[in-house]
Chains A and B, each alone.
Chain A
């Protein structure tokens, strides 16, 4: 099975989508050696060529970070190019990977529903959507901290290569938590009280000398 991957991150190869794609690819190539090729939607001038590639591909993975509850604008621009191909992608299989900085998977379910409907409009087979929350910071985390999601996504990739389907049990594990439990919400409130919940952002604000301006509201 040849797998064509479109990385829809506006950060291109420097983002968290790239890391998640590579974990999926690692697992995929364990089971099946073959062609896996990655294209970057950040290169908008190449979208027409990428659409031609998509039309020639058998199995396509589109991966992107959640931007304002849906796909980034550059991904939607790419999708818009398919308007003339409604119903004409039969025989092709599409799967998706959506990740967000929010810890819960529920934020990504709306766009997951859209992606399923989009696939139907195009006449292709929908193979499912891999959802991962809490993805911001993956790129700066030490390997020890990312071992668990990496193994899970490796397994999802490996099973996919063997069965051409996404294992629902593994998807559920990866997506967990779907919503924050009462205990997690309590912990979050406690961390907010002692100022730990903003640690990541405060570090960057301070590094940039912008901490004192963090509550600026320039448009009023």
Chain B
């Protein structure tokens, strides 16, 4: 399986070590991994111009490193967001990258599950997964909120959130779950 990981965590974060150990094991299991560390990339915020929908369909007008990430997402079977939550949600850098994924969908609207959602631009989208750093300050409600927001995010791609884990799980448990997707 082709797996893309997207992380926006500093060097001292425990989820970073978790991701490295997981990546190594997943490679050993025959998966092909592509990792994007947003902290090492040039990434600007979406300015809501919608050029990616109405000027250069499918491509953002901002020329920075996000194009590589979009390619990595769309070519993957599973895209994993690796995040250290700040005040109960992914940090601003990760959210900026998530905003910049709108070129992957079309501006036209379709009814999906009786709701309006964007039409697909690509035939196939990856499944999504989330691995959070468990630093002890997230309660069950925080987790439910984050999971729900990612489920909604996945629905906009007509995909699914297949995995929602944190670093209190073992690397082996996470790798086994990915192997079963």
Contact = CB atoms under 8 A, between A and B. Distances in A.
Main secondary structure of the interface of B (DSSP, over half): mixed
B74 A210 contact: no
Contacts, number: 162
B29 interface: no
B74 A219 contact: yes
B92 A73 contact: yes
B45 A68 contact: no
Interface in A1-49: 9-11, 15, 42, 44
Contacts of B34: none
B95 A71 contact: yes
Nearest to B157: A68
B41 interface: no
Contacts of A113: 145, 148
Interface in A42-101: 42, 44, 65, 67-74, 76-80, 82-83, 86
Contacts of A102: 109, 115-117
A189 B111 contact: yes
Nearest to B72: A219
B3 interface: no
B115 A70 contact: no
B149 A111 contact: yes
A208 B55 contact: yes
Interface string B92-126: 11011111011010111111001111000110000
A77 B92 contact: yes
B48 A197 contact: no
Most buried by A among B59, B71, B92: B92
B107 A201 contact: yes
A163 interface: no
Interface residues of A, number: 58
Contact of A185 (B55, B90, B111): B111
Contacts of A218: 58-59
A90 to B, nearest CB: 16
Given A103-B116, A106-B115, A215-B121, A67 B87 contact: no
Contact of B75 (A185, A192, A216, A219): A219
Given A74-B45, A110-B145, A188 B96 contact: no
A82 B87 contact: yes
Given A68-B99, A73-B99, A74-B96, A180 B75 contact: no
Contacts of A10: 45-48
Contacts of A189: 111
